[in-house]
């Protein structure tokens, strides 16, 4: 066990608005880490800062044993981060298979010459990638949609495609931003099992969620954000009973 | 271990029939028009790569055809470089100029690519027109007849085959690029830049490389055109010309390679049908584009383009005539009907 992601005193200000204020956290490489907090608490901003979308106003970000403060998205990805988005982002005019192959981008080693000449090596590389994409699709139960355009799929399936694309890059750390949004009770339960299964496959996972029941069952530890401040980090049970959390978050209406 | 499927057989038959055209048709004018359509097809393919695949709007493609053409012509005729070297050199020169523009955007922003290409194409046209000592200005530049390892291209037939082989080679390479990791990268960038970045694609590099590759193919077609007509004039490389070139892949369907060839063929053959059409071509093409955008924004062969719409219509009719709903198709219609509106 080790620390995969460490953030030290990270702040992110947007024109005076403190979206994140001096947050320090350590995430282990074998846990499912939950982040909760009311809307606008800075959860998505936290993901953006630890994946290179925004660079922090101050503070440091370490990932996989290396300081990555100020690195861009591509550098974070190459190092082993993958994420899904609160508002789904898939390649809608590409097939599900292609979506996953794009996720595999840095694992496919083609040369320009190989592509133009369609060499045996190039064909092998593509074949292997397609096989692996198929494996992931089967794992996620979306193999039947392999050649369907992503735009034509239902919302829930698109979420799975997004997760599949993230998995295809074989990340060390997977960031899931409200993965159960728009899902019904049963789909949410299936998603929970899926996330637990993915954890066993390798990557550490950070999940942002509103659904407390979901988080209680899933997370090993939970961080609570409120107005950009880190209120506490503890086990789900402790978090649930903490009066500050109840005031900041649960008090606003549990379970929605 | 190549498996041959129906489509490939169809392609080979089509090709074989096409190869016989110069024997069957003795009218050199028709052969000339067809060859011209083939060269424009290469340009349409290159534009499709840039506009249809990586989603960058480029209004200056004719300039790159001009750069390839003039470079190749001048080097071949004035400096007597062997034809094949001058020819490839033209394409490489266009790619090089594409690389300069690409680098400019790479280190600033691709947001201005459209404006930059418009400006660049105007600059190029002016240079072709004013650099009298090299390009012979607005009188146009005459080239000598190309020859290839001692074989002179002195018949329309030989040029026809030259264009055909060139088109096939370019088509194969472009198709391979679009089917590879690179092509998927371009499409990913077109669909969602942020998600593409999160998949580890270096967006600016990819856009730049796509622009360079596209410029190479535009340049090679431009060079072939000049050697074919043995003449280059600045009036061939105007913005109007770029717009017509841009309409070819749009008409055929952005993202569809066969579509580009059809689009290019339609738009090069139509003006030959009547001189009147030639005079009003911009008006006609403008109207065509408006109609296209209204009823089939994805062109003839694009996704949900005219071909798909016709196919849907036919299968629907067939299903209705059979008395039972064609289930798979009915389902497909429902899911395709509400195209998702993705934010950001
Ligand atoms: N790019 C941005 N520019 C300005 N303000 C932003 C930006 N991104 C987020 N914010 C603000 O930062 C705060 C935190 O947002 P966010 O991280 O999305 O919250 P959460 O995901 O917890 O709901 C919000 O007040 C939001 O309006
Ligand atoms: Mg959020």
**Closest by Cβ to B181, choosing from A90, A108, A152:** A108
CA distance B214 to B64: 9
Q: How far is the CA of A152 from the centre of ligand 2 (A)?
A: 25
What confidence score (pLDDT) does residue A255 get? 47
Alpha-carbon gap, residue A176 to A204, rounded angstroms? 11
At B304-339, the pLDDT tens digits run 788 888 888 888 888 888 765 444 444 444 444 343
Of A129-133, B62-66, B73-77, where does mean pLDDT reach its minimum?
B73-77
Q: How far is the CA of A48 from the centre of ligand 2 (A)?
A: 10
> What residues of chain A lie within 8 A of the CB of B332, using their CB?
152
What pLDDT is recorded for position B294?
81
A153-167, B7-21, B58-72, range with the lowest pLDDT? B7-21
Q: Tell me how crowded residue A3 is: count the other CB atoms within 10 A of its CB.
A: 15
In DSSP terms, B148 is beta-bridged to B151
| Nearest ligand 1 atom to alpha carbon A178 | 21
Return d(Cα B264, Cα B258) in angstroms, integer: 10
Per-domain residue ranges of chain B: 31-289, 305-344
pTM: predicted TM-score of the whole model, two decimal places: 0.89
- Please give the distance, rounded to the nearest whole angstrom, from the Cα atom of residue A14 to the centre of ligand 1: 8
Picking from B176, B187, B190, the nearest residue to A115 by CB comes out as B176
- Looking at residues B182-195, what average pLDDT do you find? 95
Give pLDDT, residue B150: 65
Give the best-scoring range by mean pLDDT among A89-98, B134-143, B283-292.
Answer: A89-98
Atom of ligand 1 nearest to the CA of A47: 17
| B271, two tokens | 């003006």
Nearest to A92 among B180, B198, B342 (CB): B342
- Atom 27 of ligand 1 has which residue's CA nearest to it? A40
Q: Residue B192: which region, alpha, beta or left (left: phi > 0; alpha: psi -120 to 50)?
A: beta
pLDDT tens-digit readout, A33-79: 999 988 889 999 999 999 999 999 999 999 998 999 989 999 999 99
* Residues in A touching B188 (Cβ below 8 Å): 91, 94, 102
Residue list, ligand 1 pocket, CB within 6 Å: A 14, 17, 19, 37, 39-45
What separation in Å is there between the alpha carbon of A15 and the centre of ligand 1? Answer: 11
Report the pLDDT value the prediction gives residue B3, as an integer from 0 to 100.
Answer: 66
Per-residue pLDDT tens digits for B138-161: 888 888 887 776 677 777 888 899
Q: B1 or B212, which is more confident?
A: B212
- CA distance linking residue A78 with residue A81, whole number of Å: 7
Output the CATH code of domain B31-289: 1.10.3470
pLDDT tens readout for residues A163-177: 999 999 999 999 999
Ligand 1 pocket mutation, candidates A34, A45, A210, A249, criterion most atoms within 8 A of CB: A45
Please tell me the number of the ligand nearest to residue A224's CA: 1
Q: Calculate the CA dihedral of residues B148, B153, B158, B160 and round it to 10 degrees.
A: 100
- From the CA of A98, how many Å to the nearest CA of chain B? 7
Residues in contact with B123: Cβ distance below 8 Å, sequence separation at least 6, in sequence order:
B63
- Own/partner contacts of B162-167, CB < 8 Å, gap of 24 or more, are B162/B224, B162/B228, B163/B35, B163/B38, B163/B39, B163/B224, B163/B228, B164/B18, B164/B19, B164/B38, B166/B38, B166/B39, B166/B42, B166/B220, B166/B221, B166/B224, B167/B38, B167/B39, B167/B41, B167/B42, B167/B261
B245 within 8 A of B61, measured Cβ to Cβ: yes
Give me the residue from B184, B195, B200 closest to A90, CB to CB.
B195
- Atom index in ligand 1 nearest the CA of residue A225 equals 22
Query: How does pLDDT run across B201-257, given as a tens digit for each residue?
Result: 999 999 999 999 999 999 999 999 999 988 889 988 999 899 999 999 999 999 999
Report the greatest alpha carbon distance in chain B: 74
SS (H, E, C) A5-61: EEEEEEEEEECCEEEEEEEEEEEECCCEEEEECCCCCCHHHHHHHHCCCCCCCEEEE
ipTM of the shown complex: 0.92
Q: Which residue of A has its CA nearest to B175?
A: A116
Task: Search chain A and give the residue with CA nearest B339.
Answer: A151
């Amino acid at each position: 066990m080790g620390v995969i992601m460490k953030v030290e005193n990270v702040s992110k200000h947007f024109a005076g608005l403190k979206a994140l204020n001096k947050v320090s956290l350590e995430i282990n490489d074998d846990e499912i880490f939950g982040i909760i907090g009311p809307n606008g608490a800075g959860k998505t901003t936290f993901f953006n800062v630890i994946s290179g979308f925004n660079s922090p106003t101050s503070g440091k970000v370490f990932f996989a044993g290396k300081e990555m403060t100020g690195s861009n998205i591509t550098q974070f990805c190459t190092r082993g981060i993958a994420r899904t988005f609160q508002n789904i982002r898939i390649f809608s005019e590409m097939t599900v298979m292609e979506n996953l192959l794009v996720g595999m981008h840095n694992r496919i080693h083609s040369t320009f010459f190989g592509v133009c000449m369609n060499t045996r090596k190039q064909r092998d590389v593509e074949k292997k990638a397609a096989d692996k994409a198929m494996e992931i699709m089967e794992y996620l139960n979306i193999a039947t949609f392999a050649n369907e355009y992503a735009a034509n799929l239902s919302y829930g399936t698109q979420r799975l495609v997004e997760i599949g694309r993230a998995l295809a890059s074989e990340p060390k750390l997977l960031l899931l931003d409200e993965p159960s949004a728009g899902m019904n009770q049963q789909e949410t339960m299936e998603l929970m099992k899926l996330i637990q299964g993915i954890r066993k496959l390798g990557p550490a996972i950070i999940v942002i969620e509103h659904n407390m029941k979901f988080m209680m069952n899933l997370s090993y530890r939970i961080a609570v954000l409120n107005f950009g401040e880190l209120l506490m980090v503890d086990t789900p049970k402790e978090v649930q009973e903490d009066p500050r959390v109840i005031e900041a978050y649960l008090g606003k209406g549990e379970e929605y | 271990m190549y498996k041959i499927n129906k489509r490939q057989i169809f392609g080979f038959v089509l090709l074989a029939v096409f190869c016989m055209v110069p024997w069957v048709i003795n009218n050199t004018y028709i052969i000339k028009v067809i060859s011209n359509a083939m060269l424009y097809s290469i340009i349409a393919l290159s534009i499709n790569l840039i506009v249809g695949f990586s989603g960058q709007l480029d209004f200056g493609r004719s300039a790159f055809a001009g750069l390839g053409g003039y470079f190749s012509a001048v080097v071949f005729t004035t400096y007597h470089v062997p034809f094949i070297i001058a020819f490839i050199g033209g394409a490489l020169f266009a790619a090089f100029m594409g690389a300069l523009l690409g680098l400019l955007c790479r280190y600033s922003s691709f947001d201005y690519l459209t404006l930059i290409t418009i400006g660049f194409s105007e600059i190029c046209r002016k240079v072709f027109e004013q650099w009298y000592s090299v390009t012979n200005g607005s009188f146009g530049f005459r080239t000598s007849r190309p020859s290839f390892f001692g074989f002179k291209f002195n018949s329309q037939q030989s040029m026809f085959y030259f264009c055909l082989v060139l088109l096939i080679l370019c088509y194969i390479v472009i198709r391979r690029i679009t089917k590879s990791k690179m092509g998927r990268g371009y499409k990913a960038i077109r669909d969602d830049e942020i998600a593409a970045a999160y998949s580890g694609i270096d967006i600016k590099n990819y856009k730049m490389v796509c622009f360079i590759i596209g410029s190479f193919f535009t340049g090679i077609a431009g060079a072939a055109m000049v050697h074919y007509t043995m003449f280059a004039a600045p009036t061939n490389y105007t913005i109007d010309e770029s717009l017509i070139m841009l309409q070819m892949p749009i008409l055929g369907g952005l993202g569809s390679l066969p579509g580009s060839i059809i689009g290019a063929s339609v738009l090069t053959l139509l003006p030959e049908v009547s001189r009147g059409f030639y005079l009003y071509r911009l008006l006609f093409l403008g109207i065509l584009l408006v109609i296209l955008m209204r009823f089939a924004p994805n062109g003839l062969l694009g996704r949900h383009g005219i071909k798909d719409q016709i196919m849907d219509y036919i299968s629907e009719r067939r299903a209705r005539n059979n008395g039972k709903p064609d289930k798979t198709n009915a389902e497909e219609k429902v899911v395709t009907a509400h195209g998702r509106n993705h934010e950001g």
